[in-house]
């Protein structure tokens, strides 16, 4: 996830210089990423670029971004996805002759293929990013005789993946070209000036009149006009029908209108999942090669990432017939005498900096094992020290409670498990394609789930907010969901919450159950469901207040439960991504009801860097 902004204005129409406005806008987008930053401006029909690695404040001090001349300027704050943070990988990216500058948020899935073709045609690439191909592609189409805007549109039609783009072409001195697919882009309308940006706070100080750009829409802004059209059909859009006037405060705007980052990040999951799928490429194949050649597979992580690891462990067994050994990262020393060459460790960490996971990784490497990292932060310590890294593309997570990074990690592990199952002959091609199809549908199902469950989870969250203890029970793939649901409630609502395999509850935990004790069941549509139904009966018989997350195909559990939260049916092995969503929301609404700030729970830090 990155932040983009662009302004084009007539002289004297904005109260500060356009470069100053771009720098301020970038600071408001810094929540989207801040490992490098840059701007490009058109002056006298040529393009000036200033950019560098580091936070906006530091790069600005070194490179004076806010003193760049010109009235047509684009800017970018980066959260690296392809190529580690560096001066060269910072946006804007330019073509061979430096007459086209591009800022981009998203992932170009087919960039390797395009890069290869353009390299053969003589284009010289400077960076490791996926974005740079766009500048060269436009350059290529202009060299074939197309006018700049037509070349831009043709380039857009050649891209696969997700993008919000701002583009300058030096011959078009007061135009900013833009396009959107799957990444947010907003136009801000002023008097004698116009903006594009990834999010409204970037320009809120200067205008409240906005147009939300839709997928497959492209166009350009000048200081006095907006041209918008559908790139596939060529239909020109009447912008007057699309203008909204918003009434957000700057704080509301930074959180996209949500009261907390956690709620915003829960709602970002469909997008995060889609970007994660788009970003999966050769690294997955490399990871699978290591797994297939391994003597033993270990999985390690902490907290929420460990729960994702447990889902991975389940899927490796069930789908691919591989036994893995999951362990909590801080317990790494147990393996100091038993691990060796031929073993493979999968280390999962959203931040890539968690010390326990890093120490486990270092021990395994020292003992000769290979390491596969799954991380959300490019260039962080764990990826740097691993043999192969598969990145999730959830974007920066500000809330301390991990939400979108968990579901993105599970997506990566599910993807690996399905491929592993196919490559080792456990499933045939038809099943393989059907399972990958199911995974492709998950972002849409996550969207549907958010709409379906929000009201019910708020109600239940308010109901349980005065309880002191809650149990979460599941079976099979439901166990890691239960563990993750309980962790969310503990960490932000400060309610004692325990998760167990439902079968284990009779071996002790049930002794605590009395009238009104909340027990939350994870009811997945698999062969273990009949046993869960029995567990609901047992808990009811002892007076428990039974709540369940159930599929919309369920006919039995709903009748038994006091409260049912219905989610759309999903292939049972992929249920964690969908079933965890109501449990995240439940924890969120419980915390809010109790008056706590879910973004900053007490005693916790987002990244734990001390053992
Ligand atoms: C979960 O909500 C927590 N914030 C925590 O358990 C977290 O998942 C854990 O500290 C691991 O962090 P990592 O993924 O950055 O390594």
Does the beta carbon of 25 lie inside 6 Å of ligand 1?
no
Residues 202 and 299 in one domain: no
Query: What pLDDT score was predicted for residue 600?
Result: 86
Q: Which of 260, 262, 301, 303 most suits a substitution to test ligand 1, by most atoms within 8 Å of the C-beta?
A: 303
Residues 38 and 149 in one domain: yes
Structure tokens at 185: 């882009």
Does the beta carbon of 607 lie inside 6 Å of ligand 1?
yes
Query: What pLDDT score was predicted for residue 586?
Result: 98
| Cis amide leading into 370 (omega within 30) | no
The answer to whether position 24 is within a domain reads yes
- Distance, in Å, from the CA atom of 291 to the CA atom of 346, rounded to the nearest integer, reads 9
Residues 459 and 583 in one domain: yes
Ligand 1, atom 9, residue with closest C-alpha: 303
Number of domains in the chain: 2
Does the beta carbon of 231 lie inside 6 Å of ligand 1?
no
Does the beta carbon of 358 lie inside 6 Å of ligand 1?
no
Ligand 1, atom 6, residue with closest C-alpha: 303
- Distance, in Å, from the CA atom of 569 to the CA atom of 27, rounded to the nearest integer, reads 41
Contact between 393 and 405 under an 8 Å Cβ cutoff? The reply is: no
Q: Considering only residues 218 and 555, tell me which one the structure prediction assigns the higher pLDDT.
A: 218
Ligand 1 mean position, distance from CA 397 (Å): 11
Catalytic site includes residue 96: no
Most confident of 18-22, 53-57, 378-382: 18-22
| Average pLDDT of every residue of the chain | 95
Reported in sequence order, the residue ranges of 465-504 that DSSP labels E, i.e. its strands, are: 469-474, 496-501
Residues 205 and 336 in one domain: no
User: Counting atoms of ligand 1 from 1, which one is nearest the CA of 302?
Assistant: 11
Query: What pLDDT score was predicted for residue 82?
Result: 84
The 10s digit of each residue's pLDDT in 343-362 is 999 999 999 989 999 999 99
The answer to whether position 36 is within a domain reads yes
Ligand 1 mean position, distance from CA 349 (Å): 7
Ligand 1, atom 4, residue with closest C-alpha: 401
Does the beta carbon of 390 lie inside 6 Å of ligand 1?
no
- Distance, in Å, from the CA atom of 527 to the CA atom of 537, rounded to the nearest integer, reads 18
- Distance, in Å, from the CA atom of 296 to the CA atom of 371, rounded to the nearest integer, reads 12
The answer to whether position 100 is within a domain reads yes
Does the beta carbon of 410 lie inside 6 Å of ligand 1?
no
The answer to whether position 611 is within a domain reads no
The 10s digit of each residue's pLDDT in 442-486 is 999 999 999 999 999 999 999 999 999 999 999 999 999 999 999
Decide which of 224, 251, 278 is a domain's last residue. Answer: 251
Residues 388 and 491 in one domain: yes
* Residues forming a β-bridge with 76: 4, 38
Residues 148 and 238 in one domain: yes
User: Counting atoms of ligand 1 from 1, which one is nearest the CA of 301?
Assistant: 16
Does the beta carbon of 400 lie inside 6 Å of ligand 1?
yes
Q: If you average pLDDT over residues 133-156, what whole number do you get?
A: 98
Rounded to a whole number, what is the largest CA-CA distance in the chain?
80
Query: What pLDDT score was predicted for residue 362?
Result: 96
User: Counting atoms of ligand 1 from 1, which one is nearest the CA of 304?
Assistant: 8
Exposure of 527 by Cβ count < 10 A (0-12 exposed, 13-18 middle, 19+ buried)? exposed
Residues 346 and 428 in one domain: yes
Ligand 1 mean position, distance from CA 325 (Å): 20
pLDDT category at 200 given cuts 50, 70, 90 is confident
Query: What pLDDT score was predicted for residue 84?
Result: 87
- Distance, in Å, from the CA atom of 310 to the CA atom of 580, rounded to the nearest integer, reads 14
The DSSP letter of residue 216 is T
Q: Which of 262, 304, 386, 607 most suits a substitution to test ligand 1, by most atoms within 8 Å of the C-beta?
A: 304
Query: What pLDDT score was predicted for residue 379?
Result: 76
Q: CATH no. for residue 61?
A: 3.60.20.10
The 10s digit of each residue's pLDDT in 570-608 is 999 999 999 999 999 999 999 999 999 999 898 887 777
Residues 289 and 375 in one domain: yes
The answer to whether position 605 is within a domain reads no
Ligand 1, atom 8, residue with closest C-alpha: 304
Choose the catalytic residue: 448, 593, 600, 606.
606
Q: Which of 266, 354, 383 most suits a substitution to test ligand 1, by most atoms within 8 Å of the C-beta?
A: 354
SS3 527: coil
Structure tokens at 441: 């549908």
The 10s digit of each residue's pLDDT in 79-113 is 888 888 999 999 999 999 999 999 999 989 999 99
Q: Burial code of 297-323, b = ≥16 C-beta within 10 A, e = fewer?
A: bbbbbbbbbbbbbbbbbbbbebbbebe
Q: If you average pLDDT over residues 419-434, what whole number do you get?
A: 98
- Distance, in Å, from the CA atom of 491 to the CA atom of 601, rounded to the nearest integer, reads 7
The percent helix, strand, coil of the chain (3-state, each to 5) is 45, 25, 35
Does the beta carbon of 484 lie inside 6 Å of ligand 1?
no
Q: Which of 300, 302, 330, 599 most suits a substitution to test ligand 1, by most atoms within 8 Å of the C-beta?
A: 302
Lowest mean pLDDT among 24-33, 89-98, 380-389, 441-450: 24-33
Does the beta carbon of 350 lie inside 6 Å of ligand 1?
yes
- Distance, in Å, from the CA atom of 297 to the CA atom of 425, rounded to the nearest integer, reads 19
Ligand 1, atom 7, residue with closest C-alpha: 303
Catalytic site includes residue 433: no
- Distance, in Å, from the CA atom of 348 to the CA atom of 305, rounded to the nearest integer, reads 6
Residues 241 and 327 in one domain: no
Residues 225 and 281 in one domain: no
- Distance, in Å, from the CA atom of 35 to the CA atom of 79, rounded to the nearest integer, reads 6
Residues 245 and 281 in one domain: no
- Distance, in Å, from the CA atom of 566 to the CA atom of 553, rounded to the nearest integer, reads 9
Reported in sequence order, the residue ranges of 277-427 that DSSP labels E, i.e. its strands, are: 297-301, 324-328, 344-349, 370-375, 388-391
Q: Is the dihedral of CA 570, 573, 577, 582 positive or negative?
A: positive
Ligand 1 mean position, distance from CA 606 (Å): 7
Domain with 234 in it: 3-251
Ligand 1 mean position, distance from CA 343 (Å): 25
Does the beta carbon of 269 lie inside 6 Å of ligand 1?
no
Choose the catalytic residue: 2, 51, 153, 488.
2
Ligand 1 mean position, distance from CA 353 (Å): 10
pLDDT category at 252 given cuts 50, 70, 90 is low
Ligand 1 mean position, distance from CA 354 (Å): 8
Does the beta carbon of 304 lie inside 6 Å of ligand 1?
yes
Query: What pLDDT score was predicted for residue 378?
Result: 82
pLDDT category at 257 given cuts 50, 70, 90 is confident
Is it the case that residue 33 has pLDDT exceeding 80?
no
pTM reported for the whole predicted model: 0.80
The answer to whether position 189 is within a domain reads yes
Decide which of 251, 279, 313 is a domain's last residue. Answer: 251
Q: Considering only residues 610 and 189, tell me which one the structure prediction assigns the higher pLDDT.
A: 189
Q: CATH no. for residue 517?
A: 3.40.50.10490
Contact between 309 and 343 under an 8 Å Cβ cutoff? The reply is: no
Does the beta carbon of 608 lie inside 6 Å of ligand 1?
yes
- Distance, in Å, from the CA atom of 360 to the CA atom of 331, rounded to the nearest integer, reads 8
What are the residues whose beta carbons fall under 8 Å from the beta carbon of 357, sequence distance 6 or more? 300, 301, 302, 305, 329, 347, 348, 349, 382
* Residues forming a β-bridge with 373: 347, 389
pLDDT category at 424 given cuts 50, 70, 90 is very high
Residues 204 and 284 in one domain: no
The answer to whether position 170 is within a domain reads yes
The answer to whether position 257 is within a domain reads no
Does the beta carbon of 402 lie inside 6 Å of ligand 1?
yes
């Amino acid at each position: 996830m990155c932040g983009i902004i662009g302004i084009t204005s007539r002289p004297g129409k904005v109260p500060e210089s356009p470069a100053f406005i771009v720098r301020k806008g970038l600071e408001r987008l810094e929540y989207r990423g801040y490992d490098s930053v840059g701007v490009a401006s058109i002056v006298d029909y040529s393009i000036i670029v200033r950019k560098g690695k580091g936070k906006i404040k530091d790069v600005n001090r070194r490179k004076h971004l806010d003193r760049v001349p010109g009235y047509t300027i684009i800017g970018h704050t980066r959260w690296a996805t392809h190529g580690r943070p560096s001066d060269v990988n910072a946006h804007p990216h330019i073509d061979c002759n430096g007459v086209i500058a591009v800022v981009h948020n998203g992932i170009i899935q087919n960039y390797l293929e395009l890069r290869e073709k353009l390299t053969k045609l003589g284009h010289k690439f400077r960076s490791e990013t996926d974005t740079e191909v766009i500048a060269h592609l436009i350059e290529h189409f202009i060299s074939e005789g197309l006018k700049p805007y037509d070349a831009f549109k043709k380039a857009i039609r050649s891209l696969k993946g997700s993008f919000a783009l701002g583009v300058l072409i030096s011959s078009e001195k007061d135009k900013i070209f833009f396009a959107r697919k799957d990444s947010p882009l907003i136009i801000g309308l002023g008097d004698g000036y116009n903006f594009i940006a990834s999010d409204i706070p970037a320009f809120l100080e200067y205008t409240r009149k906005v147009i939300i750009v839709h997928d497959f829409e492209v166009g350009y802004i000048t200081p006095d006009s907006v041209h918008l059209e559908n790139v596939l059909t060529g239909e020109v859009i009447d912008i007057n029908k699309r203008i909204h006037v918003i009434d957000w405060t700057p704080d509301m705007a930074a959180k996209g209108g949500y009261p907390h980052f956690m709620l915003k990040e829960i709602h970002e999951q469909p997008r995060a999942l889609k970007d994660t799928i788009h970003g999966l490429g050769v690294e997955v194949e490399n990871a699978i090669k290591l797994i297939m050649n391994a003597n033993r597979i270990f999985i390690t992580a902490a907290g929420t990432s460990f729960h994702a690891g447990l889902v991975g462990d389940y899927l490796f067994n069930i789908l691919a017939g591989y036994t893995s050994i999951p362990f909590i990262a801080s317990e790494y020393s147990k393996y100091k005498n038993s691990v060796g060459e031929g073993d493979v460790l999968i280390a999962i960490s959203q931040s890539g900096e968690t010390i326990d996971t890093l120490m486990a990784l270092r021990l395994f490497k020292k003992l000769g094992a290979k390491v596969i990292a799954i991380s959300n932060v490019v260039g962080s310590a764990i990826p740097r020290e691993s043999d192969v890294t598969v990145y999730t593309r959830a974007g920066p997570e500000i809330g301390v409670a991990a939400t979108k990074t968990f579901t993105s990690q599970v997506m990566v592990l599910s993807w690996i498990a399905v491929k592993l199952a196919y490559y080792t002959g456990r499933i045939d091609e038809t099943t393989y394609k059907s399972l990958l199809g199911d995974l492709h549908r998950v972002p849409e199902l996550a969207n549907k789930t958010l709409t379906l469950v929000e009201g019910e989870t708020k109600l239940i969250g308010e109901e349980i907010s005065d309880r002191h203890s809650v149990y979460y029970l599941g079976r099979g793939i439901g166990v890691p969901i239960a563990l993750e649901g309980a962790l969310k409630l503990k960490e932000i609502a400060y309610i004692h919450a325990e998760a167990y395999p439902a079968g284990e509850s009779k071996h002790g935990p049930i002794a605590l159950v009395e009238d009104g004790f909340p027990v939350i069941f994870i009811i997945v549509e698999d062969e273990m469901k009949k046993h869960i139904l029995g567990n609901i009966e047992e808990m009811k018989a002892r007076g428990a207040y039974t709540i369940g997350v159930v599929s919309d195909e369920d006919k039995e559990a709903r009748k038994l439960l006091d409260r049912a939260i219905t989610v759309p049916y999903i292939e049972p092995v992929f249920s964690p991504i969908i079933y965890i969503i109501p449990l995240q929301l439940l924890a969120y609404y419980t915390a809010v009801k109790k008056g706590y700030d879910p973004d900053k729970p007490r005693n916790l830090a987002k990244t734990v860097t001390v053992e």
